[in-house]
Structure 1
Amino acid sequence: MPTPAPDPDLQPIDDVLPTRVANLRLLICGINPGVASARTNRHYAGPGNRFWPALSASGLVPHLVGPDDQHLLPGWGIGMTNLVARPSARATEVTAAELRDGGERLLAFVAQHRPVVTAVLGVTTFRIAFAQPTAQRGPQPDRPDLWVLDNPSGLNAHTSVTALATALAAAGRAAGLDPAR
């Protein structure tokens, strides 16, 4: 299936990173911005996305948070980025080539900025981006700093908010964050 033409009204969204990169403990990497995220410049802004409820339930943040609170994350040692900057209505519109290029860029960013843990959200996406067809959830055996978590999109209905929160808490603990704030 051909990649849909980019919507000129949808722009990439900004990364959310600490001003002092030394404070970056957990880097959360999504696939690409959805339409709601591109329109608001807020990560995981779609109404059915379960990222923010899961992060709130993980204990990695001291109170309930939503897309408008993303600016608070760097103060808690958490950053956000995406593998692919191009927004789309569905992650399935992102090509394998875009994912592989994004994987290379992410690894270069990680090598330069050294977050303690980088969590890529999306098992299938990770497998394609990093040419790891058998990658499983959790830390990767050859890269314990590189984690795979489920995609929080509402289209990924088989994963609950509770399961996502548990996985985020585990990645946060590995990054040295306190999930019991």
Structure 2
Amino acid sequence: MRPNGPRRSTLRLPDLLRKDLDVVFCGINPALSAARAGHHFSSPNNRFWRVLFLAGFTPHLISPENDSTILQYGCGLTAAVERPTVSASELTSHEFREAAGELERKLQRYRPRYLAFLGKPAFAGIFRKGSVNWGEQFMRFGGAEVWVLPNPSGLNRAFSLQELVSVYRELRTASKRTHRESR
């Protein structure tokens, strides 16, 4: 890191958003490899696409190269901090606080029913929380109900694939229930 703060790269990974989605999944920030590839969760070690399929968000396994098809299933993708890094640990608390307003504006613009933070760091950084529980947060942000789900990164070995699927399925069940109720 330079004395004036983190190096600002022009490399970006575009959000996959449209109005009135059921769920927007919010990563901590894009992996540098994903930003270079131009596709979300492109690492072969990342379990995101597999977990979404097994939890019932998609009817088939989506490959990272087809990441934009997630929109067809009522889901979108964004990141709390836009700056790609090799590791999320490179981000500063200031970057999370700075990103909060932009994330809230996106949510107000696109109006998803749910926002699911993938991992505790982004939620904790944005809301300045020292302690965060998994699951539903019983609050709204930008109009969306907020959940915190375990990060599906291959580096996160605290959760097995089946444990990830189970927690994500809880959100899927809640989102299907809310979708039926809003008809």
- Provide TM-score, normalisation by structure 1: 0.86
Q: Name the residue aligned to 1:98.
A: 95
Q: Name the residue aligned to 2:76.
A: 79
Amino acid across the alignment from 1:134: S
Amino acid across the alignment from 1:169: R
Q: Name the residue aligned to 1:5.
A: 7
1:7 positional shift: 5.5
- Give distance in 1, aligned partners of 2:25 and 2:167: 12
Residues 28 and 121 of structure 2 are in contact (CA less than 8 Å); yes or no, is this contact kept in structure 1?
Answer: no
1:89 aligns with 2:96: no
Identity across matched positions, percent: 34
Larger deviation: 142-151 or 89-98? 142-151
Residues 35 and 46 of structure 1 are in contact (CA less than 8 Å); yes or no, is this contact kept in structure 2?
Answer: no
1:172 aligns with 2:172: yes
Q: How many residues align?
A: 173
1:35 aligns with 2:19: no
Please list the CA deviations of residues 46-96 of structure 1 after superposition, one character each: whole Å capped at 9, or x if unmatched: 222111111121111111122112121111100000011111000001111
Q: Name the residue aligned to 1:126.
A: 123
- Give distance in 2, aligned partners of 1:79 and 1:177: 18
Amino acid across the alignment from 1:157: R
Q: Structure 2: 5+ residue runs without aligned partners?
A: 179-183
- Look up the SS of the partner of 1:48 in the other structure: coil
Q: Name the residue aligned to 1:139.
A: 136
Residues 25 and 177 of structure 1 are in contact (CA less than 8 Å); yes or no, is this contact kept in structure 2?
Answer: no
1:142 positional shift: 3.0
Amino acid across the alignment from 1:28: F
Q: Structure 1: 5+ residue runs without aligned partners?
A: none
1:5 positional shift: 3.3
Displaced runs of 4 or more, over 3 A: 1-8
Amino acid across the alignment from 1:5: R
Q: Name the residue aligned to 1:155.
A: 155
1:53 aligns with 2:55: no
- Provide TM-score, normalisation by structure 2: 0.85
Q: CA 1:176–1:94 in structure 2 vs 1: closer, same or farther (change >3 Å)? A: same
Alignment of 1:13-24 (within 5 A): 13-18=13-18, 21-22=19-20, 24=21
- Look up the SS of the partner of 1:142 in the other structure: strand
- Give distance in 1, aligned partners of 2:63 and 2:127: 29
